[in-house]
Amino acid sequence: MFTPFREEHDQFRKTVRQFAEKELAPFADEWEEAELFPNEVFKRAGELGLLGAHYPEEHGGLGGDYWFSIAKGEELPRGRSAGVSMGLLVQSDMATPVISDLGSKEQIDEFLRPALRGEKIAALGVSEPNAGSDVAGIQTWAKRDGDDYIVNGSKTYITNGTRADFVTLLVKTNPEAGAHGCSFFLVPTSTKGYSVSKKLKKVGNHASDTAELAFEDMRIPKRYLLGEENQGFMYLMQNFQTERLIACASACAGLQISIDEAIAYGRERKAFGKPIIKREYWQHKFVELQIELEAAKALTYKTADAYNHEKHVKKEPLSFETVKLISMAKVFVGELSSKVIDQCMQFHGGAGYIEEYPIARAFRDQRLLRIGGGTTETMRYYIAKLMGL
C-alpha cells in the first residue's frame, strides 16, 4: 500500500499522539466547560515542535515536508476536543503560512518564530459580518498616511481572537479594485485602536475562543505590510488551501475514531436479545461508512501529495489543478462528516443524545466543516469555474 510517511514522520506522529492522549484528552471536558483552553498548550506544542515541523529551519521550523502537518492533523483528534485542535491548527496552518511565504526577515523574527515556539498566539482576520465566503466583499479598509496605514472596520468568527498576540489581517487598500485591492498586514493586538468587541458563543468547538474584532483609526506602520500592496486576495487564495487541506486530514481521523467508538458501543449494547452491532442493517451501514471514509482519506492523501510536491519540492505556487483537488476534498469530506456522525449518533439511540457520550460532542463539532474555510456551496462554485463550466 502506498504510504507517504517515513520513519521520521512516524516518530513525529508518536510525539503528537502522546501529547494528545496524555496532555490534552484528560482535560478536554474541563476545557469544553470553560469554553477556553490554557495558553500554555500553545507553548507546550511549540516545545514539542508540533507547530513548526513543516516550516523551513531558517524560519524557526524543523524543515520537514507537508506530511508532518498531515500526521499532526491526524493525531490531534485523540485529544478529544475539536476546539483545541482548531486553535492549534489556526496557529500552525492558517494564520502563519502566509508569513513564511511572504514575510521579510524582520517580520519572520517578530511574528513567525515566536508563533512556531508557541510564545505568541496568532489569529487570521478575514471574515466580516457581511463578507464570509465572499472574501472580495470585505469592507475593513486601510488608508495610507505617510509611512503608516490607518485601519477602520471589523472582523468576525476569528479563532484565537480573544487572546491573540497578533492577527494576520486582510483589509482593503484600494476599495475601487474589488478583490484586487486587498492587502495583508501583521497587526500586534497591543496596537492602539484595536479591540475585541465580543466573544462569540458557538454551537460546537467550545474549547476554542472565537471573537469579533474592531479597528478604530488603528495606525499600522508600513513595515507590517505583508508582501505587496493590493496582492492580498491572491495570497489568501493560496493560504486558504492549507486551511482546507489540514481540515480534511483532521476530520478523516476524527471520523475514524467515531466509527470505532460506535462499533465498540454496539458490541456491548444489547437489544432484542443480542448486541446491536450484530444486526445486519447496522453492519451494512458501517461497511458503507467505512468504504466512503477510505475514499475520503485517499482523496485527501492524493491532494496532500500534490500540495507537498508543489509547495515543498518544486517550491512553486499551487496550480489550478491542485486547488481544484483541495476544493473537491473539502466538499467530499465535509458532506461525509455530517453523514458519518449522524449515523453514529443514530446507532447510539438515546445515549447518543446525552453529553457524556463522545458522539454528542462530535455531532456539534463536525458541522463547522461545511461552513469554515469556505462553505460547501462556495467550494462547488469554485470547482465549477476550475472545470471550465
DSSP 291-340: HHHHHHHHHHHHHHHHHHIIIIIS--PPPHHHHHHHHHHHHHHHHHHHHH
Domain-terminating residue out of 101, 121, 141: 121
Instruction: Note the pLDDT tens digit of each residue in 33-87.
Output: 999 999 999 999 999 999 999 999 999 999 999 999 999 999 999 999 999 999 9
Q: Is 41 contained in some domain?
A: yes
137 has pLDDT over 90: no
Of 191, 226, 261, the position where a domain reaches its end is 226
Residues 243 and 365 in one domain: yes
State the catalytic residue, choosing from 243, 294, 310, 356.
243
| CATH number of the CATH domain containing 342 | 1.20.140.10
Q: Is the pLDDT of residue 11 over 80?
A: yes
130 shares a domain with 85: no
CB 117 within 8 A of CB 153: no
- Per-residue pLDDT of 293-352, as tens digits, reads 999 999 999 999 999 999 999 999 999 999 999 999 999 999 999 999 999 999 999 999
Domain identity same for 30 and 56? yes
Q: Are residues 160 and 284 in the same domain?
A: no
The share of the chain scoring above pLDDT 70, in percent, equals 100
- Residue among 342, 179, 189 at smallest CA distance from 259: 342
pLDDT (0 to 100) of residue 106:
98
Is position 267 within any domain?
A: yes
Instruction: Note the pLDDT tens digit of each residue in 239-270.
Output: 889 999 999 999 999 999 999 999 999 999 99
Distance of CA 237 to the CA centre of its chain: 15
In this structure, the answer to whether residues 159 and 93 fall within a common structural domain is no
- Between helix 320-348 and helix 280-308 the angle, nearest 10°, is 160
- pLDDT-derived band at 93, boundaries 50, 70, 90: very high
- CA dist., res. 285 & res. 294, Å (int): 14
Same domain, 70 and 87: yes
Residue 1 lies in a domain: no
Residue 28 located in a structural domain = yes
Same domain, residue pair 188 and 321? no
Per residue in 348-358, pLDDT tens? Answer: 999 999 999 99
Mark whether 129 and 116 lie in a shared domain. Answer: no
State whether 199 and 246 are in the same domain: no
CB-based contacts of 272, cutoff 8 Å, min separation 6: none
User: Active site includes 243?
Assistant: yes
- At residue 1, the pLDDT reads 58
Q: What is the CATH number of the domain that holds 25?
A: 1.10.540.10
Is residue 2 situated within a structural domain? Answer: no
Range of the domain at 251: 234-386
Q: What is the pTM of this model?
A: 0.94
Q: Are 240 and 201 within one domain? A: no
